[in-house]
């Protein structure tokens, strides 16, 4: 099968390419990669991709002509569209015309709402699923509402973007002012109740109105955490693969509300991020409209969502369409680092000091 993967310079496309190469048993794959950055490492990784291309960014007048040439030249069967801006571009095109190849995408309206954490939080306000939050505009010097509503400490981050963009635990007003000043590219911030508990993720795969697959994990530590004041880079180095049906139930209820608000079909792949309060109650912090960087760790544990997506789009008659929550061995963790293959082991195997 010939698969197109966009944005191959990022950790998430690399993760799903590796999941297909290392853990998929459905087919032999010819992987075609694209990226907008000349120095993107994986444009030159022949162990992952059969052919790669430098392309214009989504929204550029030459973006779709370039994509169509690549898809035609390689007779692409399926695109696994990953960077958020490209998911939005493909979803928008899918609303008005046929895509040049098969792809699993949410509705454009839903994708727009989920790409902005502020909009998503406002939709779910009052449900008890999101923490108390306040939009903070960089151009203002007045932060009274955020301080009064949230108190110290609170969590601030960009309303859009990934990898912990603009994230900081705010302890006082001076810290907030300084943080806004040194992040001039962030157009809007959102302040939220500080939640000290576990950082959880729930993956949900929907297809033609039906929930097909789900799985859960916990992010514990982050790659290059010392370079970020928040300690959060969005790329986990240590985490746990979990069996938590109650978290899945909460995530499904949330998605039902979001699908209904957008009048959108239940279709697409979503990664819901949660943070627990001191009592262990999970609150939704964002919904990714794509896979995330540690997808290959799920695949190593038996949950190969990229392969599931390919099989569904390819109409595989052997694919079991009954809902399934992936279950992992107890005590199963993953360890990751830059450019290294992730390792799975039992947490009890971690070394102890002599």
Whether the pLDDT of residue 168 is over 90: the answer is no
Tell me how far apart the alpha carbons of residues 117 and 113 are, in angstroms, rounded to a whole number: 8
- Is-contact 71 101, C-beta < 8 A? yes
Q: What percent of the chain has pLDDT over 70?
A: 97
Tell me how far apart the alpha carbons of residues 342 and 239 are, in angstroms, rounded to a whole number: 11
Whether the pLDDT of residue 162 is over 70: the answer is no
Whether the pLDDT of residue 125 is over 90: the answer is yes
Instruction: Map tokens 């005590």 to a residue.
Output: 331
Question: What pLDDT band is residue 300 in, cutting at 50, 70 and 90?
Answer: very high
As a whole number, mean pLDDT of residues 36-45 equals 93
Whether the pLDDT of residue 139 is over 60: the answer is yes
Q: What is the pLDDT of residue 145?
A: 86
Q: What is the pLDDT of residue 353?
A: 73
Q: Choose between 163 and 293: higher pLDDT.
A: 293
pLDDT tens across 52-87, in order? 999 999 999 999 999 999 999 999 999 999 999 999
Q: How far is CA 167 from CA 121, 174, 176, 198, in A?
A: 16, 16, 11, 17
pLDDT tens across 208-241, in order? 999 999 999 999 998 877 766 767 767 899 999 9
Contacts of 351 (CB under 8 A, 6+ apart): none
Average pLDDT of the chain is 93
Q: What is the pLDDT of residue 163?
A: 56
Question: What pLDDT band is residue 339 in, cutting at 50, 70 and 90?
Answer: low
Structure tokens at 108: 């454009």
Domains of the chain: 2-104 (3.40.50.20), 132-193 (3.30.1490.20), 199-349 (3.30.470.20)
Contacts of 314 (CB under 8 A, 6+ apart): 1, 77, 78, 102
Question: What pLDDT band is residue 184 in, cutting at 50, 70 and 90?
Answer: confident
**Which of 110, 160, 151 is CA-nearest to residue 286?**
160
Q: How far is CA 200 from CA 116, 214, 220, 338, in A?
A: 20, 13, 9, 21
Q: What is the pLDDT of residue 164?
A: 66
Whether the pLDDT of residue 313 is over 90: the answer is yes
Q: What is the pLDDT of residue 49?
A: 97
Using left for φ > 0, alpha for ψ between -120 and 50, and beta otherwise, residue 29 falls in: beta
User: What are the backbone dihedrals phi and psi of residue 154, each rounded to the nearest 5 degrees, phi first?
Assistant: -140, 165
Question: What pLDDT band is residue 343 in, cutting at 50, 70 and 90?
Answer: confident
């Amino acid at each position: 099968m010939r698969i197109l993967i966009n944005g191959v310079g990022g950790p998430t496309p690399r993760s799903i390419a590796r999941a297909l190469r290392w853990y998929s048993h459905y087919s032999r794959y010819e992987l075609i990669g694209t990226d907008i950055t000349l120095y993107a490492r994986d444009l030159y990784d022949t162990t992952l991709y059969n052919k790669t291309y430098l392309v214009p960014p989504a929204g550029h007048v030459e973006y779709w002509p370039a994509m169509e040439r690549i898809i035609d030249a390689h007779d692409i069967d399926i695109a696994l569209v990953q960077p958020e801006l490209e998911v939005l571009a493909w979803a928008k095109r899918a609303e008005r015309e046929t895509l040049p190849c098969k792809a699993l995408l949410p509705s454009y309206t839903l994708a727009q709402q989920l790409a902005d954490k502020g909009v998503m939080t406002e939709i779910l306000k009052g449900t008890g699923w999101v923490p108390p939050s306040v939009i903070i505009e960089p151009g203002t010097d007045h932060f009274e509402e955020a301080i009064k509503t949230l108190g110290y400490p609170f969590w601030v981050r960009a309303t859009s973007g990934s990898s912990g963009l603009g994230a900081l635990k705010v302890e006082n007003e001076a810290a907030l002012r300084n943080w806004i000043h040194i992040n001039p590219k962030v157009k809007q911030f959102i302040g939220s109740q500080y939640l000290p508990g576990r950082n959880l993720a729930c993956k949900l795969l929907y297809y033609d109105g039906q929930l097909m697959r789900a799985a859960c994990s916990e992010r514990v530590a982050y790659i290059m955490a010392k370079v970020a004041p928040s300690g959060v880079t969005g790329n986990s180095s240590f985490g746990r693969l979990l069996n938590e049906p109650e978290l899945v139930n909460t995530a499904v209820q949330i998605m039902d509300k979001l699908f209904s608000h957008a009048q959108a079909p239940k279709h697409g792949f979503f990664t819901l991020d949660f943070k627990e309060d001191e009592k262990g109650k999970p609150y939704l912090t964002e919904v990714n409209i794509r896979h995330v960087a540690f997808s290959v760790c799920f695949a190593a544990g038996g949950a190969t969502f990229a392969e599931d997506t390919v099989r569904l789009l390819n109409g595989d008659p052997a694919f079991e369409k009954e809902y399934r929550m992936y279950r992992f061995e107890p005590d199963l963790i993953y360890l990751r680092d830059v450019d290294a293959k992730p390792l799975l082991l039992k947490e009890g195997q971690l070394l102890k000091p002599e």
